[in-house]
Structure 1
Amino acid sequence: MKPSPIVPTVDFDAGGVQHGFLRLPWSRDESAWGNLMIPITVVSNGEGPTALLTGASHGDEYEGPVALVDLARSLDPADVSGRVIILPFLNYPAFRAGRRLSPIDAANMNRIFPGQPDGTVSQKIADFVQRQFLPLADVVLDFHSGGKTLDFVPFAAAHALPDQEHEARCHAARDAFGAPYSMTMLEIDAVGMLDTAAEELGKVFVTTELGGAGTATARSIAIAKRGVRNVLIHSGILAGEVVQSPSTRLDMPSADCFVFSETDGLIEPCVDLGDRVAAGDVIARVHSATRTGEAPVDYHARLSGILAARHAPGLIGIGDCLGVVATLV
């Protein structure tokens, strides 16, 4: 395997607090010998587990970046037993552009793992995380929300895994996060995800969906800030007690959770996020945006539960995810 071109300006074996960069050579019109400088913080103190904390894998999701820049600024190494690696803006070009995908190579950072050291900019970042960070990590917390096109009830999530002991460790960390909802999550396509890369290496992996619609709220950011510290406490990296809060357990037991639009048009929501629905209920209808006088197309829940996610913009395209119904456990 070819070496990574990324050069860290921090020492992952040194103690204390280090704020620096992952320096990735990036030659372009504006700078022939330029670099992409991806901010990173490492906080280390003595023996203990390592946590890898990432945000902005998709650049239009903001709870993780806010919580992680706050943690990077405030985390005292005297309170740490082990090491915390903080990457608030994993897909830094996408984050700076306010876009889901990188404006450099149009890559979805959370669909290209394990990456390539001689690939595109995004593939090089994924390769560095895969080869340098995941082997160091005992626990990985990867923040997500819905970006500009989806909105979610705020949940922390883990996946169903073939190894029951591994699954139990991931689910325990998810529950420790303490989001208002705790999800056993089903992915539409798990190939190339950081989730899958970490889980295949046996790491404790937790992800989130904390809101969306291309923004964040005071409530969703507070959930993220509390949750990241809870996971560090649960993992033995920070001292103290996990801050307990009520959490509703949710499951996505099958692909019947997902409702996809088969038409283009104007969405009329019929239930709101968090509302209970029964199988067969209309969760939304799509009206024609090209002519009046046509009947809308109704979209029905195929499971009973709550509306856990919905399409955020008022217009929808054919094939877009219209909603997700999660079952109550």
Structure 2
Amino acid sequence: MSQLPPSPVTATVDFDAQGVSHGFLRLPYSRDDAAWGSVMIPLTVVNNGSGPTVLLTGANHGDEYEGPIALFDLAATVQAGEVSGRLIIIPAMNYPAFLAGTRTSPIDRGNLNRSFPGRPDGTVTQKIADYFQRVLLPVADVVLDFHSGGKTLDFLPYCAAHVLPDKAVEARAFDLVRAFGAPWSCRMLEIDAVGMYDTAAEEMGKVFVTTELGGGGTASARTAAIAKEGLRNLLVAAGVMQGAVVPRPTRWLDMPDADCFTFAEDGGLITFLADLGDRVTAGQPVAQIYPTGRTGLAPVTVTARRAGLFMARHFPGLVKPGDCVAVVAVEV
């Protein structure tokens, strides 16, 4: 196999310099309005003494805002003396999507969280993924990647990690989930893990923690506070920030199998028959989908595939066949 060329991405800060450094990841991008243009991804690096390296990312999908709020806030307020080790803070890793307020990049329609390991000679999104894969993930001990539902999903606010073959790494990840202290904590199942940032990190043996903190393409005061407070708690528990974890009550959820997910088989106007946080039974109607091509037609009923807690739902009022419309988890 031929060796990959170097990444075209360069950092404008020294990752090993002591103190707080603000700068960018610069990716050359030639376009109509800037022949020698660049994508400039904001970056903060904090170094102080010895300790773990924690990589903090938000806006993997550009329409999810709790993570960027918490990370831009941390980057603006953190003092080097608070840190023991290194923080790498990237509030908007898919920066073109973040500026456009879209899940995928407006440049190449790339979904960054399905683009790993990336390519140094690929599209803009693939180049960003490649830099994380070959430069940033290898130096990290712990990775926290913030997510929420974006414009198409709404979640009970939770922090999560995955069940892993390496039980020591799994236990460490769930310890950090517990410390984060979101209202809900989840043993999460992915329905499409190929090409994910999560998968890339976990295959390297990194401790990986993620969130789903709301949705609808916005952030509330409540969900932004959950992100900020949980971030500080996790950094303390990871041993990279001074202070004490502020205990916050959390309730645990498990996603044991694919029956947690219900998908629409018909398109149309959706109305929900249960709300987030409701307990539902297997076979219980949770939504109806009205055909919109003409009046006088009965709605199609959508049912839960398992008993449990209604934890996520489709957000806009119109759905297409194949859309995930409901997620039910098991209370632990």
User: In the aligned structure 1, how far is the partner of 2:243 from the partner of 2:144?
Assistant: 19
Give 1:36's aligned residue: 39
Give 1:210's aligned residue: 213
Q: How does 1:6-45 map to 2 (within 5 A)?
A: 6-45=9-48
Cα deviation 1:64-86 (Å, max 9, x = unaligned): 00000000000110010000000
User: In the aligned structure 2, how far is the partner of 1:325 from the partner of 1:108?
Assistant: 25
Mean CA deviation greater in 291-300 or 81-90: 291-300
**Residue in structure 1 matching 2:86, options 76, 83, 107:** 83
> Is the 8 Å Cα contact of residues 257 and 324 (structure 1) preserved in structure 2?
yes
User: In the aligned structure 1, how far is the partner of 2:242 from the partner of 2:81?
Assistant: 10
2:142 is aligned with what amino acid? V
1:201 is aligned with what amino acid? M
Matched, 1:234 2:237: yes
Give 1:132's aligned residue: 135
Give 2:172's aligned residue: 169
Deviation of the 1:295 alpha carbon = 1.5
Secondary structure of 2:139's counterpart equals coil
Following TM superposition, the consecutive aligned residue runs of length 4 or more in structure 1 with deviations greater than 2 angstroms are none
Matched, 1:297 2:312: no
Secondary structure of 1:259's counterpart equals strand
User: In the aligned structure 2, how far is the partner of 1:47 from the partner of 1:70?
Assistant: 24
**Residue in structure 2 matching 1:269, options 261, 269, 272:** 272
Cα deviation 1:127-183 (Å, max 9, x = unaligned): 111111111100000000000000000000101111111111111111111100001
TM-score by length of 1: 0.99
Give 2:246's aligned residue: 243
Deviation of the 1:39 alpha carbon = 0.4
Identical counterparts, % of pairs: 64
Give 1:327's aligned residue: 330
1:266 is aligned with what amino acid? L
Q: Number of residue pairs matched? A: 329
Q: Which runs of 5+ in 2 are unaligned?
A: none
Q: Which runs of 5+ in 1 are unaligned?
A: none
Give 1:148's aligned residue: 151
User: In the aligned structure 2, how far is the partner of 1:71 from the partner of 1:80?
Assistant: 12
Q: How does 1:51-66 map to 2 (within 5 A)?
A: 51-66=54-69
Deviation of the 1:213 alpha carbon = 0.5
**Residue in structure 2 matching 1:67, options 55, 66, 70:** 70
User: In the aligned structure 2, how far is the partner of 1:178 from the partner of 1:300?
Assistant: 31
Mean CA deviation greater in 292-301 or 5-14: 292-301
> Is the 8 Å Cα contact of residues 173 and 204 (structure 1) preserved in structure 2?
no
